[in-house]
């Protein structure tokens, strides 16, 4: 059997649950054709490089496929008939990569960075938050007023 990578884009107004259902349907087509889908990645709703059918975003789904050509061809045919699928790209590869794709690796790295950033956002020049600086600025005019009152 041949090895393939398939990415398909789903309209942005479709829910994530419906995208998962579509992925399961297409996986069933491959399995009925005598193949297997060892890895499925749902990349989520992402921006498109250019508009496709008046949409600026789409749900991305990646399949690693180990199947005969006929099963892949049938899956692509059904994707073409489905109104929710905007684009399909299938390429033949020499070997399937079991590791997460580059998109998923960068997504998890970004999530890790956000989780470690526990420090409150404040003034970039020093570590003190802006809220801590505000009362000091408010007290300064009062002190000046009191000093004026003492002088009179």
Question: What is the number of domains present in the chain?
Answer: 1
* CA neighbor of 20 nearest in space, from 111, 100, 84, 107: 84
Q: Is residue 43 included in any domain, yes or no?
A: yes
Give 141's contacts (C-beta < 8 A, 6+ positions apart).
Answer: none
Whether 41 is in a domain gets the answer yes
pLDDT of residue 50: 93
User: 13 vs 53, 54, 58, 60, 63, CA distance in Å?
Assistant: 13, 12, 8, 13, 21
Specify if 115 maps to a domain: no
Q: Note the pLDDT tens digit of each residue in 65-107.
A: 999 999 999 999 999 999 999 999 999 999 888 777 778 878 7
Q: What's the CATH number where 64 sits?
A: 3.30.70.60
Full domain range(s) for residue 47: 2-96
Residue 106 lies in a domain: no
Decide if 59 is inside a domain. Answer: yes
Alpha carbon 84 to its chain's center: 19
Position 54 in a domain: yes
The DSSP element (H or E) to which 99 belongs, if any, is: none
User: Would 103 be classed as within a structural domain?
Assistant: no
């Amino acid at each position: 059997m041949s090895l393939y990578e398939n990415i398909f884009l789903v309209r942005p107004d479709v829910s994530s649950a419906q995208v998962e259902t579509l992925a399961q349907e297409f996986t069933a087509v491959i399995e009925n054709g005598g193949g297997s889908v060892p890895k499925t990645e749902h990349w989520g709703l992402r921006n498109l490089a250019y508009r496709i059918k008046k949409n600026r975003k789409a749900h991305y789904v990646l399949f690693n496929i180990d199947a005969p050509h006929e099963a892949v061809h049938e899956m692509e045919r059904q994707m073409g008939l489905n109104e929710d699928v905007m684009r399909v790209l299938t390429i033949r590869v020499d070997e399937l990569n079991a590791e997460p794709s580059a998109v998923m690796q960068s997504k998890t790295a970004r999530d890790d960075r956000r989780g470690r950033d526990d420090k409150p956002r404040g003034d970039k020049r020093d570590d003190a938050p802006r809220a801590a600086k505000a009362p000091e600025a408010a007290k300064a005019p009062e002190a000046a007023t009191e000093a004026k009152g003492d002088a009179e």
